[in-house]
Structure 1
Amino acid sequence: MVGRGTSHQSPPSGTVAPTWPAVPRDLHDAYILEVLGDPSAGEVCFQSRPESASTARRLTLAKLRAWGLGPLSDTCELLVSELVGNAVRHTGAQTFGLTMERRRGWVRVEVRDPSRALPCLLPVQDLDVSGRGLMLVDKLSDRWGVDLLPRGKTAWFELRDGER
C-alpha cells in the first residue's frame, strides 16, 4: 500500500522518519472507480449493510471529482447516505445498486433495491429522532422521485451542476 511502511519500529533517535509521497487525489479516485466499479458505466451493487453507506459515499465522491463537480460533493454525499440508509434499513433487501448519470446541467444519482415498498415523505417534528431522510432529499435536491420497477424500485435525486 502506498504511503505506509511495513516496519512498526520507530526510527533511531536523532533521525527523521521517511516521508512517503502523497497519492494524488485523481489517482486515488481512479483506483476507487476501478476497484468498486464506475456507477456511470453501470449499476454498482453493494451488500445491504450499514457499512456499505460509506463505500457508496466514497464512490459517489470519486465520480463527482472525476467529472469536475466537486462543489456538489457535500450535498450529494448527504443525499446518497439518505437513499442508501433507506434501502438498508427499510427494505429487508440483501443488496442494493448505485448508478450515476451526468447530463448537460444535471447529475442524477439512483439507488435501486428489490422492494416495491414506497418510501414516505413524512412531516417531521423538532424532537423526532428519525424520519428526516426524505425531507432532506426533498429540500436539498432539485428533483427527486421513486420509480417502480417490475421487481423493486429506484429512488433517485437530481442536482444542477452549474454548467447551464
Structure 2
Amino acid sequence: MSTRARPAATRPEAAPPPAAAYRLPSDQRSAAQARKALRPHFQVWHISGEPAYSAELLLSELVANAAQAQASAGPEVCVRFALSDGCLRLEVRDASDELPVMNEAKEDEECGRGLALVDALASGWGVDRDGTGKIVWAELAVGDASAPCRAPALRSP
C-alpha cells in the first residue's frame, strides 16, 4: 500500500424504510394481500414472534372491515405501515364515511368480534376522517423502545 493510500471508508448501514403504503382491491381477499405485503417489512424492521402475529391479525381485521364498509363506496382500500421508536402503526383507508362500531357478538354469531380483537391487541386504535372517507389505525408496541406508543385515542361509539 502506498503512503498516500487510505483504507476504504465504511459505508453507514442504510436505515430501514420508516413506512410503506399499498393500494389493494376492495374485497375480502385484500386481508391476505395486506398480510403478504407486511411480512417483508417484519424482516427489515426486525419484528418477529408474538408482535408479528398480532400485527398480522390487527391488519387482517382492519382490512376486512374496510372492504366490508365500502362495498359500494370505492374500488380499493389503502394500507400503510410505519415503524417509529418501537411502535408499529397500521393504517387502513377506505372511501366510506361509515365509522367502525364495536359490537358485542352473541356466542353463535360468526361476525362482530373484529374490533374487540383490535381493542384487546393494540396499544391504541382510532379513526381519522378526511374529506372522502376515513383512516382506521392501530398501534402496536413491537420492541424495546425509549418512547411507548401514544396513548389510546378516543374510540368511536
TM-score, length-normalised on structure 2? 0.75
Q: Percent sequence identity over matched residues?
A: 35
**1:7 counterpart residue number:** none
Question: Which amino acid in 2 is paired with 1:120?
Answer: V
1:63 aligns with 2:41: yes
Q: 1:62 Cα shift?
A: 1.5
- Counterpart check, 1:76 vs 2:61: no
Q: How many residues align?
A: 126
Distance 1:101 1:56 in 2: 14
User: Equivalent residue of 1:75, what SS?
Assistant: helix
Q: Secondary structure at the match of 2:66?
A: helix
User: Mean alpha-carbon deviation: is it higher for 123-132 or for 154-163?
Assistant: 123-132
Name the counterpart of 1:151.
132
**Structure 1 consecutive aligned stretches of length 4 or more whose deviation exceeds 3 Å:** none
What amino acid does structure 1 have at the position aligned with 2:94?
D
User: Are 1:97 and 2:75 counterparts?
Assistant: no
Higher RCO structure (Cα 8 Å, ≥6 apart):
2
Match of 1:115 in 2: 96
1:87 to 66, 69, 73: 66
Point out where structure 2 has 5 or more consecutive residues left out of the alignment.
1-16, 146-157
Please tell me the root mean square deviation across aligned C-alpha atoms, in Å: 1.6
Q: Which has the higher helix share?
A: 1
Q: Is the 8 A contact 1:39 1:98 kept in 2?
A: no
The answer to whether residue 105 in structure 2 is matched with residue 161 in structure 1 is no
- How far is the alpha carbon of 1:162 from its aligned partner? 2.0
CA distance in 1, matches of 2:135, 2:54: 19
Task: Give TM-score, length-normalised by structure 1.
Answer: 0.72
Deviation at 1:117, TM superposition (A): 0.7
Give ranges in structure 1 of 5+ residues lacking alignment.
1-37
SS in 2 for 1:153: strand
